[in-house]
Amino acid sequence: MADQRSLPIPNGLEGERLDAALSRLFGLSRTRAAELIASGDVLVDGSTAAKSDRVQGGEWLDVTLPPPPAAPMPVAEPIPGMAILHEDDDIIVVNKPVGVAAHPTTGWTGPTVIGGLLGSGHQVATSGAAERQGIVHRLDANTTGAMVVAKSEHAYSHLKRAFKERTVDKLYHALVQGHLDPLRGTVDAPIDRHPFGDGRFAVVAGGKESVTHYDTIEAFRAASLLSIKLETGRTHQIRVHMSALRHPCVGDMLYGADPTLAARLGVTRQWLHAVSLGFEHPSTGEWVGFTADYPADLAHSLKVVSGDS
């Protein structure tokens, strides 16, 4: 159902272009604001206007906002190569392959962990939004490795709390460009959406607290294999922090990786793998841990880079 909004132009927007004013008032992109204006869904003092018109404080704005898009639902289809590392009545732990998102999102049409589990006959918790049932944490679509999904409602609540309270051990391996100095350290730098609004995230003053601990496992001639522990779990956190140190993950073109090095190592996505997960089992209270082997592409590139050294 369309959303009708009527309000006066705030004095603080005096002299702004109409599309810019709409963008700021309603959190729209400038492109989306221009589309609404062009379609006649924006009236200024009762009349249609052009996107480049300058607004005056106190003018009356009538806007018809389209309904938000419906959340995409998971498609139940088995995912080749998604190994089950552990399953019991409460949890299921998978080794997520490349090219698979945790759950459906607007704009993602590929396979998802939740859809793969449902398509293979597994039951998951029904808590949370319908498109994210059972999902208590996420990995980027092109990040592989260990991921836990809740099967019972009790497990969902327990694990959501554990991730929020940072009592889960999350260990990653990343192959990054060059050699870090020092070889072991902590990155404590806030992260938020990139100011350019292009899908990237960045270290931004006033962003969300983000803490990454790294340790060099092995230094090769052109790259270093790192062991990384996360205290927080921000979107793209490792990728952003490594890029901020000027040592992006090999193959991570979104965050400034060298395409020549990636091609030489045969890497077509960020070299980042969730090696292990450890947490208190929701029912037994015992500490449990799960380890996910490297996929073939990452294992092959390690052989290549070690041979170069």
Active site positions, annotated: 140
**What pairing do the DSSP bridges indicate for beta strands 211-219 and 223-230?**
antiparallel
d(CA 73, CA 133): 10
CA-CA-CA-CA torsion sign (114, 136, 156, 279): positive
CB 51 within 8 A of CB 72: no
Q: Which residue type, as a one-letter code, is found at position 105?
A: T
Measure the CA–CA gap between 99 and 142, rounded to whole angstroms: 5
User: Could you tell me where the DSSP H helices lie in 191-294?
Assistant: 237-244, 259-265
- For the chain, strand residue ranges (E) read 3-8, 42-44, 47-48, 60-65, 83-87, 91-96, 144-150, 169-177, 184-188, 191-193, 201-203, 211-219, 223-230, 272-280, 287-291
Q: How far apart are CA 230 and CA 236, in angstroms?
A: 12
Q: Contact, 71 vs 104, CB < 8 A?
A: yes
Q: Contact, 277 vs 168, CB < 8 A?
A: yes
**66: cis peptide before it, omega within 30°?**
no
